[in-house]
């Protein structure tokens, strides 16, 4: 059973929902309250944000958000008091004023109940959905780091709750704001690829050192990522490569995922690394994580398109998100880290799409079709930092849309469809690549939903960005 919506309407769903939201009395009304596609909430002049999770990623989010005009980081929450204190010290030292501190495993509840507009969630994966549900149940919009949900039930819970509460629930997929991904989207909207037939995305990033790094020495809190990879198979982290190509291909907005199949290699990389780094008798060498090194998922859409998405965080190879979009008239493909690409177009003189454009011609095209958001705010975003500027552009667009009462670039259906890959790829990979139906989280809404446009910010916001400073703490890997 892959489409669990009918099932979830039963009493088990009420219990699951109550448990996830932490609200024993959460009586869930399951009448559709309307689609969230194109949904815009009333404009918020000053966006008051509470940030949950202040580990490796959270502090850089605090700094970016605080620097956006019309935004106040008003609350900070973590398990560990020193992490809240450190960010409050940073806010004060940089003239933003202290935030209300919330400390402890359940402290996010009091934060969600307080006077805020948006809860920005940067915790370990398993907490993403429970905190977001609690936030929406208490009238707050939710922005959740990737992947926002790990299970189909969580995807459905976020969809149902966002629809019923009429609160935004956005996945913080920063890669949609990468310069190459946005160039690709703009080229797609200008018809340069013709009909897009196939795309490829990935998260290929050797995280072995980080996975085993002691939490006391800056590693993942409680080894949460290592634990997940020890217990699970398939692709738990599909969204970086997947969501940008979903946008270019109008998934959930004219097309939708139909089914997927996944085949994973066994795991070799973690064991090999642990044996050398920690010794054969070490607990690390005896752990034998289950998650295969290379996982390859292929998704078929109802309109007949395909997307390949890979996950490999345990092999010795350079970082890549692949970023390939291929159509009847051309192809673009990312190279290496993030910021380089190759392109071939049927309309090119000479060999057409049989040869990649030379660097000069590719750069001319990239200048001409640079995404307008990058044109107006790319320089400032690069100055701030954060994966080459894309993290800042993501937060900027999110806050700009909230301030102006506009639909967000990514809605809860984009979140659900991309996060569904975690459970479905695992099921498929465990059964020799058996195909798995992907639920239609839009329940038919994809047929009429409008594709994402080429969106930017207005001059008033650009004028207010002049004082935004470089932030040394931004993550670039
Ligand atoms: N989009 C990106 O490029 C990107 C990059 C890095 C990480 N991430 C995502 O960010 C999230 C956090 O990753 P990280 O590397 O910062 O992990 P981390 O372990 O360094 O940080 C997690 C933080 O959450 C805190 N936490 C744990 N339980 C909590 C609770 N109940 N309430 C409040 N706080 C709690 C921990 O104490 C820790 O400070 C993950 O979802 C990860 O996938 C995204």
pLDDT of 9 reads: 44
Q: Is the pTM of the predicted complex or chain greater than 0.85?
A: yes
pLDDT of 176 reads: 98
pLDDT of 277 reads: 98
Ligand 1, CB within 6 Å, residue ranges = 52-58, 77-80, 83, 105, 108, 122-125, 127, 145-146, 174, 220-221, 224, 387, 475
**3-state SS assignment for residue 392:** helix
pLDDT of 30 reads: 37
pLDDT of 19 reads: 40
| CA-closest residue to ligand 1 atom 29 | 79
CA of 224, closest atom in ligand 1: 19
Residue ranges per structural domain of the chain = 5-29+38-173+456-464, 175-447
CA of 55 to the centre of ligand 1 (A): 5
| CA-closest residue to ligand 1 atom 28 | 79
pLDDT of 22 reads: 39
CA of 221, closest atom in ligand 1: 19
CA of 172, closest atom in ligand 1: 1
Q: Residue 434 is encoded by which pair of tokens? A: 């058996």
Residue whose token pair is 């058996």: 434
| CA-closest residue to ligand 1 atom 11 | 122
pLDDT of 451 reads: 97
pLDDT of 473 reads: 84
| CA-closest residue to ligand 1 atom 6 | 57
Which residues, at least 6 apart from 73, have a Cβ–Cβ distance to it below 8 Å?
49, 51, 62, 65, 66, 91, 96, 99
Mutation choice for ligand 1 from 123, 175, 214, CB with most ligand atoms inside 8 A: 123
Which CATH number is associated with domain 5-29+38-173+456-464? 3.40.50.720
| CA-closest residue to ligand 1 atom 34 | 78
| Rounded Cα distance, 366 and 232, in Å | 40
Of 107, 124, 153, whose CA–CA distance to 15 is shortest?
A: 153
Q: Residue 396 is encoded by which pair of tokens? A: 């900027």
pLDDT of 467 reads: 82
CA of 339 to the centre of ligand 1 (A): 25
Which residues, at least 6 apart from 263, have a Cβ–Cβ distance to it below 8 Å?
295, 296, 428, 429, 432, 433
Local confidence pLDDT in tens for the 477 residues of the chain: 344 444 344 333 333 444 444 333 333 343 445 799 999 999 999 999 999 999 999 999 999 999 999 999 999 999 999 999 999 999 999 999 999 999 999 999 999 999 999 999 999 999 999 999 999 999 999 999 999 999 999 999 999 999 999 999 999 999 999 999 999 999 999 999 999 999 999 999 999 999 999 999 999 999 999 999 999 999 999 999 999 999 999 999 999 999 999 999 999 999 999 999 999 999 999 999 999 999 999 999 999 999 999 999 999 999 999 999 999 999 999 986 657 899 999 999 999 999 999 999 999 999 999 999 999 999 999 999 889 899 999 999 999 999 999 999 999 999 999 999 999 999 999 999 999 999 999 999 999 999 999 999 999 999 999 888 888 888 776
Element (H, E) at 165: helix 152-165
Q: Residue 306 is encoded by which pair of tokens? A: 């395909």
pLDDT of 443 reads: 96
| CA-closest residue to ligand 1 atom 3 | 174
Say yes or no: domain 175-447 is CATH 3.20.20.10: no
CA of 321 to the centre of ligand 1 (A): 21
CA of 53, closest atom in ligand 1: 24
Which residues, at least 6 apart from 127, have a Cβ–Cβ distance to it below 8 Å?
52, 53, 108, 121
Which residues, at least 6 apart from 471, have a Cβ–Cβ distance to it below 8 Å?
60, 63, 64, 67, 384, 385, 386
Q: Pairing state of beta strands 306-312 and 196-204? A: parallel
């Amino acid at each position: 059973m892959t489409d669990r919506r009918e099932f979830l309407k039963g009493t088990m769903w009420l219990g699951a929902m109550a448990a996830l939201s932490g609200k024993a009395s959460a009586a869930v009304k399951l009448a559709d309250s309307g689609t969230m596609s194109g949904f815009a909430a009333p404009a918020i002049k000053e966006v008051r944000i509470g940030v949950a999770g202040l580990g490796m990623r959270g502090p850089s989010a605090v700094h970016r958000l605080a620097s956006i005009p019309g935004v106040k980081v008003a609350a900070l929450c973590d398990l560990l008091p020193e992490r809240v204190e450190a960010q409050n010290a940073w806010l004060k030292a940089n003239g933003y004023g202290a935030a209300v501190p919330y400390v402890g495993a359940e402290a996010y509840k009091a934060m969600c109940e307080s006077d805020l507009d948006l809860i920005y969630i940067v915790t370990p994966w398993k907490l993403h959905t429970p905190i977001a549900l609690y936030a929406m149940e208490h009238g707050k919009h939710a922005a959740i780091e990737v992947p926002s949900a790990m299970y189909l039930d969580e995807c459905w819970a976020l969809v149902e709750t966002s629809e019923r509460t009429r609160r935004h629930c956005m996945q913080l997929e920063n890669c949609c704001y990468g310069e190459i991904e946005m160039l690709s989207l703009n080229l797609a909207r200008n018809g340069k690829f013709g009909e897009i037939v196939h795309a490829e995305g990935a998260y290929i990033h050797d995280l072995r050192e980080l996975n085993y790094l002691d939490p006391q020495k800056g590693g993942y809190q409680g080894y949460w990522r290592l634990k997940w990879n020890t217990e699970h198979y398939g692709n738990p982290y599909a969204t970086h490569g997947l969501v940008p190509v979903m946008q270019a291909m109008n998934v959930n907005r004219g097309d939708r995922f139909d089914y997927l199949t996944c085949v994973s290699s066994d795991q070799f990389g973690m064991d090999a690394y642990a044996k050398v780094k920690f010794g054969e008798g070490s607990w690390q060498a005896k752990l034998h994580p289950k998650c295969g090194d290379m996982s390859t998922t292929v998704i078929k859409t109802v309109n007949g398109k395909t997307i390949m998405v890979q996950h490999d965080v345990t092999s010795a190879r350079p970082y890549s998100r692949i970023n390939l979009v291929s159509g009847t008239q051309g192809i673009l493909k990312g190279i290496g880290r993030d910021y380089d690409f190759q392109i071939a177009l049927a309309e090119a003189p000479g060999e057409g799409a049989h040869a990649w454009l030379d660097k000069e011609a590719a750069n001319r095209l990239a200048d001409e079709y640079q995404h307008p958001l990058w044109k107006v705010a790319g320089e400032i975003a690069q100055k701030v930092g954060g994966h080459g500027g894309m993290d800042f552009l993501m937060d900027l667009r999110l806050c700009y849309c909230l301030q102006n009462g506009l639909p967000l670039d990514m809605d809860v259906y984009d979140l659900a469809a991309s996060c569904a890959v975690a459970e479905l790829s695992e099921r498929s990979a465990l059964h020799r690549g058996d195909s798995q139906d992907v639920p239609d989280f839009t329940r038919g809404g994809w047929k009429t939903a409008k594709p994402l446009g080429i969106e930017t910010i207005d001059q008033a916001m650009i004028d207010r960005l002049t004082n935004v400073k470089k932030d040394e703490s931004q993550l670039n890997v």
